[in-house]
A and B are shown apart, each in its own frame.
Chain A
Amino acid sequence: GAGVSQSPRYKVAKRGQDVALRCDPISGHVSLFWYQQALGQGPEFLTYFQNEAQLDKSGLPSDRFFAERPEGSVSTLKIQRTQQEDSAVYLCASSLEPGGYGYTFGSGTRLTVV
């Protein structure tokens, strides 16, 4: 597609529910990043893929967070047993180059845990 597509745009989950957030990067983009943006804050790095390989997951806040990109294109960020502190906007960005230069960001998924 023309841009990075994220779905759903909004998600309300009950505490304890599992959620899955999808990122569809620009076709051919090698690098894919997930970020978490709390209200009023700048985004925080979660994880990075180069093609299907997850090269860095140091930003994932707990083992309830899991990301995958099995075929090197679409990526899914899964959060198990959601907690209120997980409420945030989850941003996906992709880049043609392995170094992540020239990022294109998706519009984000706003997750609200109630």
Chain B
Amino acid sequence: KNEVEQSPQNLTAQEGEFITINCSYSVGISALHWLQQHPGGGIVSLFMLSSGKKKHGRLIATINIQEKHSSLHITASHPRDSAVYICAAPYSGGGADGLTFGKGTHLIIQP
């Protein structure tokens, strides 16, 4: 089973700061997912990436397959970015049998 570790577990920052959330996994994978979950809300898929870097608005996700590590960055952070960010990798690496999730990073952006 893939083990997924995220850091930090909790992060509080001021509006406008550059945010980095890290994720490492134990088993080589085909693709890694970054997800966002607002309090009391459902999960939204932000990115699925298998190599390099993806950007969507102020969100950037990078992955280093060799080092089994991925990062999620938020530029010019805003209070509406406050949420739990979850990294998820295929359960056994292949992707056909579900995801293993990290425990999430609780992000609070203060105005």
Contact = CB atoms under 8 A, between A and B. Distances in A.
Interface residues of B, number: 26
A44 B97 contact: no
Looking at chain A's contact residues, the main secondary structure is loop
Size class of A's contact patch?
A: 20 to 34
Nearest to A104: B45
27 contacts: A35-B98, A42-B86, A42-B88, A42-B104, A43-B99, A43-B101, A44-B101, A45-B91, A48-B97, A48-B98, A55-B96, A58-B97, A98-B96, A100-B96, A100-B98, A100-B99, A101-B31, A101-B95, A102-B48, A103-B33, A103-B45, A103-B99, A105-B35, A105-B42, A105-B43, A105-B44, A107-B42
A25 interface: no
Among A41, A101, A102, chain B packs the most CB atoms within 10 A around the CB of A101
B62 to A, nearest CB: 19
